[in-house]
């Protein structure tokens, strides 16, 4: 019997240092907790508010959480990372240094005889045509290579500024009211998936659709929510230090 955990949208680096240190502490406490029974961990995007990974340099900070993720994999827990729209400028740091498996887009996986579809959820909203075009530009390997020639002291602040602009744009959108994610979940359940899991909208959702289930993981800014799948049953829960 396996136990899988799912989280998304921590946006580490979003606010003042004191707030981010407390958020990081909560995440590490959560990871300490799941070590008891976890076989798999899935991070479904936007762990960081801005992440641009150079060949030999990563953004300053977060070393406590990165060390904890390494501890997780060293203990035999299979850890997966699906980049979101704020942290997808990734090379191989998570695979080589932390022992995690990374997936550029969506993931189709079987756990406990349940077929699960995972994706961050960015670009699915019906009004996000402009973002979908921008996403192709930002993720283009040649463009990333060109950007990487900027010194990190220049490139990383620009990435953070871009992230802030993106957040200001998305903060006024009510993704939980948009039918884009629901329609994608309906489509995937029709295709035979039992569970569809996304992030991005920052609003926890647990909704039965036909013979399947759509879950949005919410965030670790306001909700501290996560999903846990055990023995074929999945629940959406809220983390607290008393859990």
Angstrom CA distances, 170 to 144, 148, 223, stand at 23, 26, 18
Contact 184, 196 (CB under 8 A): yes
pLDDT band at 169 (very low <50, low <70, confident <90, very high): very low
Q: Which position has the token pair 């670009």?
A: 123
H helix and E strand count, the chain: 7, 11
Q: Which is more confidently placed, 160 or 63? A: 63
**In the chain, domain spans:** 3-238
pLDDT band at 242 (very low <50, low <70, confident <90, very high): confident
Q: Among the residues of 120-229, which ranges form H helices?
A: 129-139, 141-147, 152-171, 179-190
Q: Which is more confidently placed, 192 or 85? A: 192
CA–CA separation, 157 vs 147, rounded Å?
12
CATH of 3-238, one of 3.40.367.20, 3.60.21.10, 3.40.190.10, 3.90.1150.10: 3.60.21.10
Q: Is 122 exposed, middle or buried (0-12, 13-18, 19+ CB in 10 A)?
A: buried
Which pLDDT tens digit goes with each residue over 28-53?
999 999 999 999 999 999 999 888 88
Q: Which is more confidently placed, 88 or 179? A: 179
């Amino acid at each position: 019997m396996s136990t899988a955990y799912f989280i998304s949208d921590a946006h580490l680096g979003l606010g003042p240092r004191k707030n981010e240190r407390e958020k990081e502490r909560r995440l590490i406490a959560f990871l300490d907790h799941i070590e008891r029974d976890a076989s798999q961990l899935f991070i479904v995007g936007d762990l960081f508010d801005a992440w641009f990974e150079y060949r030999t340099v990563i953004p300053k900070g977060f070393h406590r959480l990165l060390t904890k993720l390494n501890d997780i994999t060293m203990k035999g827990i299979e850890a997966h990372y699906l980049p979101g729209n704020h942290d997808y400028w990734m090379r191989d740091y998570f695979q080589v240094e932390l022992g995690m498996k990374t997936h550029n887009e969506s993931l189709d996986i079987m756990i406990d005889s349940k077929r699960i579809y995972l994706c961050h959820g960015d670009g699915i909203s019906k009004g996000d045509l402009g973002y979908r075009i921008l996403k192709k530009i930002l993720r283009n390997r040649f463009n990333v290579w060109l950007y990487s020639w900027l010194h990190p002291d220049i490139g990383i602040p620009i990435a953070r500024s871009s992230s802030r602009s993106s957040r200001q744009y998305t903060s006024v959108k009510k993704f939980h009211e948009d039918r884009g994610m629901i329609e994608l979940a309906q489509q995937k359940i029709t295709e035979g998936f039992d569970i569809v899991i996304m992030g991005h909208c920052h609003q926890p959702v647990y909704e039965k659709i036909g013979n399947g289930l759509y879950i949005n993981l919410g965030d670790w800014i306001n909700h501290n929510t996560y999903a846990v799948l055990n023995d074929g049953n999945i629940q959406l829960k809220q983390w607290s230090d008393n859990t």
